[in-house]
């Protein structure tokens, strides 16, 4: 398709060409190939080193800016190059497809200790702008706040109230915001996150550490971001936060549900990213605390949060930097949320030119933007995917969508390279079937 929106058609072979296979030219004329090339947003691979606020790079020029997605020129779409010369005879038309991002849920958990008064005020003042920045990128977002709700401090506990338009009237909720009121203890944010998520013993609305239910606010198909704000460390380890089997809390008599990556949760927190503003002071020594302008220090460096930030590729900032840290931190977390948003792995099949779709002459090619494109085989169903690459139809008889197996879906997400990944649906050649 050229810049004016017209489809680009590759001219058929010259019929007078010498030594031509007598069946080749009619075949080229009869079979059209529509290439659906989706350029996708970046996502950070798990288990890579975390990046600090000071080292966060600006998004590349021409990247996601809230405008119409760019997929390159129509000349880039050209005839498929599958690595198999037989595919070249199937290419005649290129049609670009719009991408579709999955929604994102962002869970903030804010310590309500007396020492947290300045940080609580910063979150309250800046969360609307944070949400606006994400919304400006066209992302369907939901913010969940886990912290004591209110406007008046009580017994050295500092509550938070998110004003409209993100929050509702009188510290209430809105379609894009849900506040589960809980008194977050300085060393227990991760325990309270899990306990109130599962509404286990000791973490319900009538318990000191508990809250009203909020798990229902998390959307099954949304990517997840978690943001902690504290000046202390967690007594619950990073490993336990992810893989705790469920049962008695190691630190008290309460009960905790399984960790966020326990198999019982399915894909609920798959590829989640953890961010934080806390008491770290050194990029190389996790136990080193930062120092406030008055030379005092926070209660702890928060090495558990450093573990989670590094493991998931999140953003962090130093709580000791005060007001100067918050604007960049909000912006950096918002940018990270945008770039780690995943894309759908089910594609609407565009109608082939000049006829009815033949389900037996469809192939799918996937490129992650860093490695050569690969034609992946068709399998019978999602159950037949296993751990291998592949794709299947939503309905084998009258298909309307191509769905990627989990392995190929991961390949369709960006690995952070300069070239965006893409999925191509190739029509006309006999399907490669596993």
Interval 30-75: pLDDT, tens: 323 323 333 333 333 333 333 344 343 333 343 343 333 222 233 3
pTM, full prediction: 0.68
Q: Which residues contact 67 (CB under 8 A, 6 or more apart)?
A: none
What's the CA gap between 284 and 218, in Å, rounded?
35
Q: List helix spans (H) across 228-341.
A: 238-243, 303-312, 323-340
**Is pLDDT of 247 > 60?**
yes
Average pLDDT, the chain: 79
Largest CA distance in the chain: 92
Q: Would you state the pLDDT for residue 416?
A: 54
**Helix, strand or coil, per DSSP, at residue 383:** helix
What whole-number percentage of the chain has pLDDT above 90?
A: 55
**Is pLDDT of 367 > 50?**
yes
According to DSSP, residue 96 is labeled E
What whole-number percentage of the chain has pLDDT above 70?
A: 73
Nearest to 108 by CA among 143, 141, 132: 143
For the chain, the structural domain boundaries read 29-42+86-100+345-427, 104-340
Q: Which residues contact 324 (CB under 8 A, 6 or more apart)?
A: none
Q: Would you state the pLDDT for residue 357?
A: 78
Q: Which residue has the higher pLDDT, 288 or 355?
A: 288
Residue whose entry in the numeric block shows the structure tokens 């599962």: 198
What's the CA gap between 298 and 267, in Å, rounded?
35
Please report which confidence band the pLDDT of residue 224 belongs to, taking 50, 70 and 90 as the band edges: very high
Q: List helix spans (H) across 271-322.
A: 303-312
């Amino acid at each position: 398709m050229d810049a004016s929106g017209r489809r680009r058609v590759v001219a058929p072979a010259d019929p007078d060409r010498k030594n031509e296979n007598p069946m080749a030219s009619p075949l080229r004329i009869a079979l059209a190939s529509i290439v659906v090339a989706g350029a996708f947003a970046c996502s950070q691979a798990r288990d890579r080193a975390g990046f600090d606020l000071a080292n966060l790079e600006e998004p590349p020029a021409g990247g996601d800016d809230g405008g119409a997605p760019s997929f390159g020129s129509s000349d880039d779409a050209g005839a498929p190059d599958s690595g198999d010369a037989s595919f070249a005879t199937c290419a005649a038309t290129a049609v670009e497809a719009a991408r579709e991002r999955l929604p994102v849920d962002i869970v903030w958990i804010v310590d309500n200790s007396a020492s947290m008064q300045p940080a609580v005020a910063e979150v309250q003042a800046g969360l609307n702008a944070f949400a606006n920045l994400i919304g400006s990128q066209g992302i369907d977002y939901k913010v969940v706040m886990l912290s004591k709700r209110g406007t008046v401090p009580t017994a050295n506990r500092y509550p938070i109230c998110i004003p409209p338009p993100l929050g509702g009237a009188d510290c209430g909720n809105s379609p894009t915001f849900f506040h589960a009121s809980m008194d977050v203890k300085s060393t227990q944010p991760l325990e309270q996150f899990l306990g109130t998520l599962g509404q286990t013993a000791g973490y319900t609305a009538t318990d000191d550490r508990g809250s009203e239910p909020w798990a229902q606010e998390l959307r099954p198909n949304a990517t997840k971001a978690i943001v902690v704000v504290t000046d202390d460390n967690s007594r619950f380890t990073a490993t336990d936060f992810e893989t705790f089997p469920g049962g008695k809390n190691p630190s008290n008599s309460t009960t905790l549900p399984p960790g966020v990556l326990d198999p019982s949760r399915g894909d609920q927190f798959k590829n989640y990213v953890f961010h934080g503003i806390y008491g770290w002071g050194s990029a190389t020594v996790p136990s080193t605390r930062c120092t406030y302008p008055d030379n005092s220090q926070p209660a702890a460096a928060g090495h558990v949060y450093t573990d989670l930030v590094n493991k998931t590729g999140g953003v962090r900032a130093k709580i000791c930097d005060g007001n100067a840290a918050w604007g960049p931190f909000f912006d950096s977390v918002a940018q990270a949320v945008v770039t780690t948003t995943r894309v759908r792995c089910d594609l609407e099949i565009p109608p082939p030119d000049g006829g009815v779709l033949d389900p037996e002459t469809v192939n799918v090619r996937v490129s992650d933007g860093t490695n050569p494109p690969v034609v992946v085989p068709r399998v019978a169903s999602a159950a037949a995917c296993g751990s291998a690459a592949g794709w299947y139809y939503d309905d084998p008889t009258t298909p309307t969508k191509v769905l990627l197996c989990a392995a190929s879906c991961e390949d369709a997400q960006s690995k952070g390279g300069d070239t965006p990944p893409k999925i191509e649906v190739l029509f006309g050649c006999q399907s490669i079937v596993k």
